[in-house]
Amino acid sequence: MTPAEIDGYLDDCRVLALEELERIVPAHGRYAPVLYGLMLDYPRRVSKGLRPALCIATCRALGGALEPVLSSAAVLELYHNAFLIHDDVEDGSELRRDRPTLHRTHGVPVAVNVGDAMLALALEPLLDNMAAVGLGKALRIMRVVARMARESAEGQALELDWMRRGRWDLTDVDYVRMVYKKTSWYTFIAPVLIGAIVTGASPAALAELRRFAALLGIAFQIQDDVLNLVGEQARYGKEIAGDLWEGKRTLALSHALRSTQTGDREQMCAVLLKPRPYDEGDPGVHKTSDEVRWLAGLIDRSGGVDYAQRVAGRYARRAARALQRATWIEPSIHRDFLAALVDFVVDRDR
Amino acid sequence: MTPAEIDGYLDDCRVLALEELERIVPAHGRYAPVLYGLMLDYPRRVSKGLRPALCIATCRALGGALEPVLSSAAVLELYHNAFLIHDDVEDGSELRRDRPTLHRTHGVPVAVNVGDAMLALALEPLLDNMAAVGLGKALRIMRVVARMARESAEGQALELDWMRRGRWDLTDVDYVRMVYKKTSWYTFIAPVLIGAIVTGASPAALAELRRFAALLGIAFQIQDDVLNLVGEQARYGKEIAGDLWEGKRTLALSHALRSTQTGDREQMCAVLLKPRPYDEGDPGVHKTSDEVRWLAGLIDRSGGVDYAQRVAGRYARRAARALQRATWIEPSIHRDFLAALVDFVVDRDR
């Protein structure tokens, strides 16, 4: 598949899920302007649309029809965007998909409430699913959604705990465990499992697909962190070096901390621990742009970005092999798309 | 029922739900200290335990057993405490049940994430319910939970919108609609409906119980607002006059705004619109203690508290009549408890 074909596939799925979402979210009435309209704000901003594409492609690759999987794909978008809104509050992020975050435009109270309402609203199409895919599959999909939400909350809890306690003595294994929960489960594993469940896939098939999705998710997140360090803001849509401003743990940073001399390392940790300018705390203790640039320079000189990209490449190759072994998935454009995603996640620049 | 008997019934149910909750929330393992332990923080603080008591009492009054309703009672507590955590973030509240709020002790990011994780975790006992109460009832309970979460998000959205836009031209009907969604649905209607569904109650029975719960919930919230104005901090456990600091719409305040002369009314609205001292904004524009005391004095002189209590009394009496009409509910201590709650919600001082 060419990059343009991948983009086309992603875009088609994003539009399909958005149209379904617009059917699920009440667009009229008293609560539309204060609640439901805001639910569609993030989903309507341009995004990759990875989750619906993974869900739809898996279902189609396994011989399933489009119609019965659409509502689950929309539910995934509803959850995803709810967590994005809450993540933006938690991280104090300023931009999301090139535009101000919801809590910046409407305040923290509205943003928290809109996210909660999206999580609540997601229950209804999951229950309605029984008519579309049957009781057994609908219940299995709900179990996956419950697990997905738990895993990402656990991953988020780990990361927040590291940041709160100023933990820098982390290994790559710690990082991968966090990312497996936070990114793999909710961006890759759940969409792939749900797409497969709709087709009635066997437990063995689900296990193979899950392995593929887990590995791909880890590769994706490592590349995401790399883009945060080196990407162009216009292409990527988030604040550049936002992870350094926020003090997030990434492979490139861990590598730099390991390969830097003790004095510099202590200085790095001290800077990383400082809050950002608009966070609470005394103005004197905030990070400065110079300090963030200094951190980025140290990571650069340590070869942290190359290191992270090598690790991402290894996970991507393992994901590719996991998919190759699933020879029971017949050739199709949908299978091709899943295979093409492997290179896409590590080669992408957005 | 004597006040001591009501307290005893509430306390028994609170403990039963807490014990069930402690079975649902994983207490050991890597994520206990950073996530699951924090889920039990609010539920372990002393509270009235209204929701589990309403759920259990309705089930028992309709001839149901205790065991099959316990897990739903615990789910209600999980939802309730998740929303409390998020509400405290949204309102910037400092105290919850006499102790610092979760976002004050652990920061906004952890508090938002713990709330999300509780909402996610609640899905699992709801699905497990199928074994305890059967598929049909379990699905109906999930529909009620989904509706409850939506209604409270809508009520919250209304209130936040009024506060953000400085809307003071509200009628008592506006207030009651907001409270019906925000308080009645989630503290009264959902617990009562779920307790009744477990016993296999008919749609007609559910409709009668729902009316009782809706009226009782409105009376409860009006009294809650009154206690916020006049209660003693030690008995009530929240900041006193916190609603005035936050600029919340209440019946007593609306009454005072209606009965105050134009100049004072404009001054009141101007003060109410100001943020609290620890909110964002220029230090010069924050509310002061003197201003909040001035507001409270105006409400007092306008007879706003008496007015609110009269309205609460009317809703309570309508709730009492709704329960009396449900003659198909046999006499029992559980029915007595539901009847006794009517006086309890308007006479309570905490």
What share of chain A in percent tops pLDDT 70?
Answer: 95
Given an 8 Å threshold on Cβ–Cβ distance, is A164 in contact with B113?
A: no
- Integer Cα distance of B186 and B195 in angstroms: 13
Q: Rounded to a whole number, what is the distance in Å from the CA of B9 to chain A's nearest CA? A: 31
The torsion angles phi and psi of B64, rounded to 5 degrees, stand at -80, 160
Q: Under an 8 A CB cutoff, do B157 and A34 touch?
A: yes
Distance CA B220, CA A298 (A): 60
A119 and B117 in contact by Cβ < 8 A? no
Q: What is the pLDDT of residue B350?
A: 67
Q: Give percent of chain A above pLDDT 90.
A: 62
| Residue written as token pair 């989750």 | A51
> Residue range B43-63: average pLDDT?
93
Distance separating alpha carbons of residues B69 and B77, to the nearest angstrom: 13
**pLDDT surpassing 50 at residue A144:** yes
Closest CA to A53 of A223, A206, A238, A188: A188
Q: What kind and span of H or E run contains A95? A: strand A95-96
Quote the minimal CA–CA distance from A340 to chain B in Å. 32
Q: Over the range B128-150, which residues count as b (16 or more CB within 10 Å of their CB) and which as e? A: ebbebbeeebbbbbbebbbbbbb
With the CA atoms of B54, A124, B218 and B187 taken in that order, what torsion angle do they form, in degrees rounded to the nearest 10? 30
Compare CB distances from B86 to A31, A116, A123 and report the shortest one's residue.
Answer: A116
CB distance from B174 to chain A under 8 Å? no
Residue-wise pLDDT tens digits, A225-282: 999 888 654 444 455 688 888 888 899 999 999 998 888 888 998 888 888 776 555 5
**Count of H helices and E strands in chain B?**
18, 2
| Arithmetic mean of pLDDT, A128-138 | 91
Q: Torsions phi, psi of B99, nearest 5?
A: -130, 160
Q: Is A247 helix (H, G, I), strand (E, B) or coil?
A: coil
Averaged pLDDT, B170-188: 94
- Picking from B337, B152, B154, B149, the residue whose alpha carbon sits closest to that of residue A32 is B154
A109 touches chain B (CB under 8 A): yes
Q: Within an 8 Å CB–CB cutoff, is residue A35 touching chain B?
A: yes
CB B52 within 8 A of CB B16: yes
Closest-CA residue to A154 (of B117, B28, B81): B117
Number of H helices, E strands in chain A: 18, 2
Q: Do B158 and A31 touch (CB under 8 A)?
A: yes
Closest CA to A148 of A49, A79, A91: A79
Q: What is the mean pLDDT of residues B142-150?
A: 93
Which residue from A minimizes the CA distance to B32?
A154
Mutate to test the interface with A, among B25, B81, B113, B128 (most CBs of A within 10 A): B113
Closest CA to A320 of A344, A303, A302: A344
Model pLDDT, residue A280: 55
Nearest-CA residue of chain A relative to B174? A30
What letters, b where the CB count within 10 A reaches 16 and e where it falls short, cover B185-196?
A: bbbbbbbbbbbb
Do A140 and B122 touch, CB atoms closer than 8 A? no
Give the nearest partner residue to A90 out of B112, B127, B142, using CB atoms: B112
Least confident of A80-89, B45-54, B155-164, B227-236: B227-236
- Residue pair B52/B13 in contact (Cβ under 8 Å)? The answer is yes
Q: Do A149 and B117 touch (CB under 8 A)?
A: yes
The minimal CB distance from B113 to the residues A114, A145, A160 is found for A160
pLDDT digits (tens, 9 = 90+) for B238-279: 556 788 888 888 999 999 999 988 888 889 988 888 887 765
A95, pLDDT greater than 80: yes
The single-letter code of the amino acid at A93 is: S
Give me Rg for the CA atoms of chain B: 20
Select the more confidently predicted residue: B29 or B180: B180
Question: ipTM value of the model?
Answer: 0.85
Confidence (pLDDT) at B171: 92
Q: Residue A138: which of A67, A71, A78 has the closest Cα? A: A71
